[in-house]
Amino acid sequence: MRISVIGCGYLGAVHAACMAKLGHEVVGIDVDERKIFELSSARAPFYEPGLEELLRDVQETGRLSFTTDMSAAAGSDVHFICVGTPQKKGENGADMTYVDAATMGLLPYLAAGDVVVGKSTVPVGTAARLAKLVQDQEPTAHLVWNPEFLREGHAVSDTLQPDRFVYGVEDGSEDHPAITVLDDVYATPLASGTPRLITDHPTAELVKAAANSFLATKISFINAMAEVCEAAGADVTRLADAIGMDDRIGRKFLNAGIGFGGGCLPKDIRAFMARAGELGADQALTFLREVDAINMRRRTRVVELTRELCEGTLLGKRITVLGAAFKPESDDVRDSPALSIAAQLQLQGAVVTVTDPKALPNAAKRFPELHFEPELHDAISRADALLVLTEWQQYRSLDPYALVSRVNSPRILDGRNVLDPGKWRAAGWTYRGLGRA
* Shortest Å, Cβ 312 to ligand UGA: 28
Q: Which residues pair with 266 in a beta bridge?
A: none
Q: How far apart are CA 8 and CA 20, in angstroms?
A: 14
Binding-residue total with ligand UGA (CB under 6 A) = 22
* Shortest Å, Cβ 142 to ligand UGA: 24
3-state secondary structure of 376: helix
Contacts of 226 (CB under 8 A, 6+ apart): 236, 256, 257, 434, 435
Go through the chain and tell me how many residues it has. 437
- Residues 399-428 vs ligand UGA: string with x where CB under 6 A? ------------------------------
Binding span for ligand UGA by CB under 6 A among 54-62, 247-255, 302-310, 377-385: 247-255
Please, which of residues 57-96 interact with ligand UGA by CB under 6 A?
none
266 binds ligand UGA (CB under 6 A): no
User: Phi and psi of 352, rounded to 5°?
Assistant: -100, 135
Amino acid at 83: V
* Shortest Å, Cβ 359 to ligand UGA: 12
Q: How far apart are CA 154 and CA 329, in angstroms?
A: 8
* Shortest Å, Cβ 240 to ligand UGA: 8
260 binds ligand UGA (CB under 6 A): yes
| Shorter beta-carbon distance to ligand UGA: residue 93 or 262 | 262
Q: Which position among 52, 137, 253, 425 is part of the footprint of ligand UGA (CB under 6 A)? A: 253
| Shorter beta-carbon distance to ligand UGA: residue 318 or 396 | 396
Please, which of residues 314-333 interact with ligand UGA by CB under 6 A?
326-327
Per-position b or e across 327-360, b if 16+ CB within 10 A of its CB? bbbbbbbbbbbbbbbbbbbbebebbbbbbbbbbb
Distinct helix (H) and strand (E) counts, the chain: 18, 14
Q: Classify residue 195 by burial, with Cβ atoms within 10 Å: 0-12, 13-18, 19+.
A: exposed
Binding span for ligand UGA by CB under 6 A among 35-43, 58-66, 81-89, 264-272: 264-272
Contacts of 368 (CB under 8 A, 6+ apart): none
Binding span for ligand UGA by CB under 6 A among 49-57, 88-96, 252-260, 283-291: 252-260
The one catalytic residue among 8, 18, 82, 264: 264
3-state secondary structure of 217: helix
Q: Which position among 7, 261, 357, 433 is part of the footprint of ligand UGA (CB under 6 A)? A: 261
3-state secondary structure of 297: helix
What are the start-end ranges of the H helices in 11-121?
12-21, 33-40, 51-59, 97-106
Please give the angle made by the CA atoms of 406, 407 and 413, to the nearest 5 degrees: 130
* Shortest Å, Cβ 161 to ligand UGA: 14
Q: Which position among 3, 110, 254, 319 is part of the footprint of ligand UGA (CB under 6 A)? A: 254
User: Phi and psi of 95, rounded to 5°?
Assistant: -85, 115
264 binds ligand UGA (CB under 6 A): yes
Q: How far apart are CA 384 and CA 405, in angstroms?
A: 12
> Do 85 and 120 meet the contact criterion of CB atoms below 8 Å apart?
yes
| Shorter beta-carbon distance to ligand UGA: residue 15 or 327 | 327
| Shorter beta-carbon distance to ligand UGA: residue 230 or 268 | 268
Contacts of 414 (CB under 8 A, 6+ apart): 388, 421, 431, 432, 433, 434
* Shortest Å, Cβ 121 to ligand UGA: 5
Please, which of residues 211-230 interact with ligand UGA by CB under 6 A?
212, 215, 219
243 binds ligand UGA (CB under 6 A): no
- Residues 112-151 vs ligand UGA: string with x where CB under 6 A? ---------x--------------------------xxxx
Please, which of residues 146-205 interact with ligand UGA by CB under 6 A?
148-152
**Catalytic residue at 264?**
yes
265 binds ligand UGA (CB under 6 A): yes
| Shorter beta-carbon distance to ligand UGA: residue 141 or 285 | 285
Kindly list the residues in this chain that would bind ligand UGA in the complex (CB under 6 A): 121, 148-152, 212, 215, 219, 253-255, 257, 259-262, 264-265, 268, 326-327
Looking at the annotation, which residues are catalytic?
264
